[in-house]
Amino acid sequence: MLSGILSIILETVGGFISMMLLVRTAMRWMRMSFVSQIGQFVLATTNWIVVPAQRVLPSVGKLDTCSLVPAWLIESLLVAIGVLLTAGGFGNPATALVGVLAIGALELVKVALYLLMGVVIISAVLSWVNPYSPLAPTLNQLTRPLLAPFRRVIPPVGGVDLSPLVLLLVVQIALFVLQGIRAGFTPLLFQ
């Protein structure tokens, strides 16, 4: 019971930090300003890990590796801790390390997909309820590039943009596929 509670706490805290690091990566990729409320919150919650990482990890073009690599390592660490808490240990250390890093990368993609779902839903709700909210421009800027391909194909129906629904469906399918891929890597942890 205690290990279950500890696991929930670690997954919540680690998932939150990973999510903020992913938001920082996305905002840097899209050259967004960090002056907004969201940007200031992201900086405040991630600077403690990103600033030291900047001394070691160079950015690659528009890709902010100083945010992405720590997020991946956090997710990998969460996978390792989860295995230790539930199974009690690993098999071969070399294959277990490969498995932990691979599953950590898949978990990071899963966090990114869930983050995308949340941003799309919040952006859609804000567009109906309060389109002039201070958060709306930042959320719209984050979702616009992902919704654009769907908006070119799917016309508005009765003035309602259905592209967020289609994007959410695609994300759900991607999560389903990701779950199957993760199951393929799980045996590496115990070989």
Tens digits of per-residue pLDDT, 76-100?
999 999 888 887 777 788 888 999 9
Q: What angle do CA 163, 168, 180 make, to 5 degrees?
A: 145
Calculate the dihedral angle through the C-alpha atoms of 44, 55, 24, 102, rounding to the nearest 10 degrees.
Answer: -120
Helices (H), 30-92: 37-54, 65-86
pTM of the model: 0.90
Question: What pLDDT is attached to residue 83?
Answer: 87
Question: What pLDDT is attached to residue 91?
Answer: 79
Domain count, the chain: 1
Residue-range definition of the domain harbouring residue 58: 2-189
